Structure 1
Amino acid sequence: MTSKYIIGLDGGSQSSKATIFDTDGNVVCEATQPLAPMHTPGAGIAEHPDDDLYTSVVAAASRVMEAFPGNPADIVGVGLCSIRCCRALVRSDGTLAEPVQSWMDERLSRPYEHTNQEVAYVTTASGYLMGRLTGELTDTIANYIGPWPMDVRTWDWFDDQETFDSFNVPREMLYRLQMPGDIGGYVNAAFSSQTGIPEGLPVVHTANDKATEALGSGLRDGATGLVSLGTYIAGMVMGKEFAPDPQSYFSNFASEPYRYLYECAGIRRGMWTVSWLRDLLGTEIALAAAAAGLSSEEHLNLAASAVPAGSDGLLCVLDWLAPPNKPFKKGMFIGFDERHGYAHMYRAVLEGIAFTMKRNMDAMAAERGLDLEALVLSGGGSNSDLAAQIFADVFNVPVVRNSVRNAAGLGAAICTAVACGIYAGFDEAREHMVHRHDRFEPTPGNARLYGELCAVAGEIPRQTDPILERIHQILTDDKGAISHA
């Protein structure tokens, strides 16, 4: 039989990825295009510059097609996944009227304000990209998290007109909704000519990026958790019902119709902190890595693996990006002495990430009455064996990694396999396309130590936040601008 293939497009926070899978979920070839740095022209504004979300997808898709060793006629479809909580303001011809507002943009915390008469439609990143790839103004219901008139219980717009109107987006400015696994349109001539992807291929809706990642990670029930180690670090479990008033998590759409992803509090600029440390140390890291014939990341992981659990008392608080309602919060290391070097700092960052997610996921599990029996790691940070072992020790459960770490791309391929009839449903597709790669068992001694340190680390912000708030007040005038007097 002739092999068939699926393209998974994953537009992330730091890069756009294009991966071609076979129908068993194996990677045939892949390409990544980094996004341009975020444009931050003023306080609270964070935009993807120019048309970066689309042009980066084009660049990644064109390179993956150049690398594809098979026959393009054997590609059956394209799955599209993109970052959530973004707002795209679109002209009547489907092009951007303004740069896409990032999930970090404070305007996303407020209802839409119609100040630009060029804007004909208001949509998400996934809706905008579907329009550019196909010419169809359709979007996945499962990416409408945040400032949208969406009823998460019913998977449809609010039917109460007063509630709908409070979001300040007229219905005629919204794209037509479809379910994950629905065909949103077909590759148009323009996208085909730019990328080499055959014109006419179905382009399939998925969900928001975290939900698609959960699908591609094989998440199915509440006994297994998922931690996504990306720019934003998220902790998730799956379920079947909408939780109306949770205290320690929120109900997100899953990438399967009428299923939900429960997501605890996460870490903003999570794995970005690793890049920050690597770049801050710069030459020292680069020279040591080059001397050992390693990449900077490989060198850091090797060096930090020689540091004992607990980093000789160095703890890290991961507040590098303060939430809008607590602008005084800052990241910090606490506990330096003469023993500590960059390997300790790197390990302390990984331990701090694991401690934070342990506390957050424990709160969610307790509220939902769950006992986590295993943890799946996905995202770029999951490539670190050290990080995987630290998570196993901190959570005191087995940690597994899948063969495909770009789980969002695989989740997009699973949706496409269902839409195109390769598999009868999501369960069958997941069974055939998600494969476990390795497993890390907790180390009893480290698990006990980390249990105590995790509790201590959780106390630090309660002690330091009042000090940081005082510093913030000193440096900030009554208009909210940093004083340079």
Structure 2
Amino acid sequence: MKKKYIIGIDGGSQSSKVIIFDLEGNIVCEGKQNLQPMSLPAPGIVEHPDDDLWDSIVVASKQAMSRFSGNKEDIIGIGLCTIRFCRVLLKEDGTLASPAMSWMDERVSRPYEHINPLVKYVTTTSGYITHRLTGEFHDTAGNYQGQWPIDTDTWQWSEDPEVIRKMNIPRGMLFQLKMPGTILGQMTEKAAQITGLPAGIPVVATANDKAVEALGAGSLAENTALISLGTYIASMVHGHENPKDTMHFWTNFASIPHRYLYESYGIRRGMWTVSWFKNLLGDDISIKAAALKITEEEYLNQEAQKIPAGSEGLMTVLDWLAPVHEPYKKGLMIGFDARHGGAHMYRSILEAIALTMKNRADAMCAELCIKLDHIIISGGGSNSSLFMQIFADVFGIPASRNIVNGSASLGSAICAAVAVGAYDQYQTATEKMVKIRDTFQPDKTNTDLYKRMNDEVYKHITAYTDEVLKKSYPIFR
């Protein structure tokens, strides 16, 4: 029996990745293309320049296929995942009427305004890429969150005239919705020639990128949370209900039909802050890492490993990007004395991420009346064993990372595997395709220290510092 393969497309916020998996979830080969810097033509306008979302997938697809040593006919499906909370305006022929709006663009947080007469369709990034691949005007229901006339109970377009009026998108401008794990269409000959991907194979619906990542991480149990380490960091758990008007989390579509993903409040510019600090150190860290023949990240982790839990009193508040309703907020490092150096600052940032996510996950779980007994960490930051141990210590429960830690591509492949009948259900597919790399157990001494630090100090810092920042904001904004 011939070996079969699935392609997972992960169109992320910083790069597009195309990965070919076997049916056991092993990576066979992959391609990756970084996105261009965002276009900022005016205040509040944040766009993906040119046709970057599609062009980057084309490059990554060609790379992956050039590295694939098997037979094209043994590739049985493609799962497609793209960035959420974006808006794409298309002409009647499905081409761009204007550059795709990023999730950071202020326009996507408001109802659609029909200004450009050339616009025939209003869709998401997944709808646009689906059309480029298949020629169909189909999209996954699971990527419609925010300013869309969607009924989150039925996973279909709302039939309430008031909802349609408020969102200002007539039904004729919207794509046909498909459930996650169903076929959106087949790869066209034209798209196959452009990308190098096999013509005629099914392209499968997934959901929003966080939901697909949660599926690819294998976090299906309702007492297991995924902590996704990206530009935006969030914690997520799966559930069956669709609670509304929640206080400490959002209810999103899951990548499993008629299930939901509860997402805690997160950290904006989360892992970006780690990169910012690394760049702040400049050539000094590069020289030291090169002398040891290791990466800059490995060098920072080695140095921070020498620092005790709590960073000897140095604490970081991760407000490097203020929310719109609290524009005065700023990032902070507080508690310096003569003991502190770069390694303390680096560890303090890692601890701040874990502590912030602990507090936000706890608030979500309390509202859901659940208690976590396990966390899974995904994203590039999970490659750091120090970071993994900090998470286990702060949460006080085991923390695991998977062999495939950029799990959106694997989640896409899982959806495709179910859609084409390689597996009969999601649970079976995740059990076969998701593999744990290792698990970190909490150190009780560190857990006790972090709990005291958090309960007595860390949770309360901004109650004091916000008052100062409110006064400085008019001076320096």
TM-score for both structures, normalised by structure 2: 0.98
| CA distance in structure 1 between the partners assigned to 2:118 and 2:302 by the alignment | 53
* Deviation per residue, 1:97-143 (Å, 9 max, x gap): 11111111111111011111221111111111111111111110000
Secondary structure of 1:101 counterpart: coil
Q: Is the 8 A contact 1:106 1:324 kept in 2?
A: no
| CA distance in structure 1 between the partners assigned to 2:259 and 2:315 by the alignment | 38
| CA distance in structure 2 between the partners assigned to 1:189 and 1:329 by the alignment | 51
| CA distance in structure 2 between the partners assigned to 1:454 and 1:34 by the alignment | 37
Which amino acid counterpart does residue 223 of structure 1 have in structure 2? Answer: N
| CA distance in structure 1 between the partners assigned to 2:342 and 2:116 by the alignment | 48
Q: Is the 8 A contact 1:88 1:125 kept in 2?
A: yes
Q: 1:30 aligned to 2:30?
A: yes
| CA distance in structure 2 between the partners assigned to 1:119 and 1:461 by the alignment | 45
- The farther-off stretch of 200-209 and 309-318 is 309-318
| CA distance in structure 2 between the partners assigned to 1:37 and 1:317 by the alignment | 27
* Deviation per residue, 1:165-194 (Å, 9 max, x gap): 100111111111000011111112232112
Secondary structure of 1:271 counterpart: helix
Secondary structure of 2:167 counterpart: coil
Give the gaps of 5 or more residues in structure 1.
477-485
* Deviation per residue, 1:400-431 (Å, 9 max, x gap): 11111121111100000011110111111111
* Deviation per residue, 1:56-111 (Å, 9 max, x gap): 11111110111112111110011000111001111112121111111111111110
| CA distance in structure 2 between the partners assigned to 1:304 and 1:380 by the alignment | 18
Give the gaps of 5 or more residues in structure 2.
none
- Structure 2 matches for 1:325-404, cutoff 5 A? 325-404=325-404
- Structure 2 matches for 1:271-286, cutoff 5 A? 271-286=271-286
Q: 1:407 aligned to 2:407?
A: yes
Who is 2:102 aligned against?
Answer: 102
Which amino acid counterpart does residue 462 of structure 2 have in structure 1? Answer: P
| CA distance in structure 2 between the partners assigned to 1:84 and 1:166 by the alignment | 21
Who is 1:480 aligned against?
Answer: none
Who is 2:198 aligned against?
Answer: 198
| CA distance in structure 2 between the partners assigned to 1:40 and 1:352 by the alignment | 30
Which amino acid counterpart does residue 97 of structure 2 have in structure 1? Answer: A
| CA distance in structure 1 between the partners assigned to 2:365 and 2:463 by the alignment | 23
| CA distance in structure 1 between the partners assigned to 2:80 and 2:123 by the alignment | 15
- Structure 2 matches for 1:62-461, cutoff 5 A? 62-455=62-455, 456-461=457-462
* Deviation per residue, 1:277-333 (Å, 9 max, x gap): 111222111111111101111111111111111112111111111111111111121
TM-score for both structures, normalised by structure 1: 0.96
| CA distance in structure 2 between the partners assigned to 1:335 and 1:37 by the alignment | 35
**Offset, 1:30:** 1.7
Which amino acid counterpart does residue 466 of structure 1 have in structure 2? Answer: E
| CA distance in structure 2 between the partners assigned to 1:244 and 1:464 by the alignment | 32
| CA distance in structure 2 between the partners assigned to 1:228 and 1:38 by the alignment | 22
What is the RMSD computed on CA atoms of the aligned residues? 1.2
Secondary structure of 2:270 counterpart: coil
- The farther-off stretch of 318-327 and 233-242 is 318-327
Secondary structure of 1:429 counterpart: helix
* Deviation per residue, 1:429-467 (Å, 9 max, x gap): 111111111000000111011112223222111111122
Who is 1:479 aligned against?
Answer: none
Q: Is the 8 A contact 1:157 1:164 kept in 2?
A: no
**Offset, 1:344:** 1.4
Identity value in percent? 55
* Deviation per residue, 1:388-411 (Å, 9 max, x gap): 100000000000111111211111
Secondary structure of 2:309 counterpart: coil
**Number of paired residues?**
476
| CA distance in structure 2 between the partners assigned to 1:151 and 1:333 by the alignment | 43
| CA distance in structure 2 between the partners assigned to 1:74 and 1:359 by the alignment | 46
| CA distance in structure 1 between the partners assigned to 2:37 and 2:305 by the alignment | 31
Q: Is the 8 A contact 1:58 1:191 kept in 2?
A: no
**Offset, 1:239:** 0.6
Secondary structure of 1:47 counterpart: coil
Who is 2:11 aligned against?
Answer: 11
| CA distance in structure 1 between the partners assigned to 2:214 and 2:47 by the alignment | 26
- The farther-off stretch of 109-118 and 187-196 is 187-196
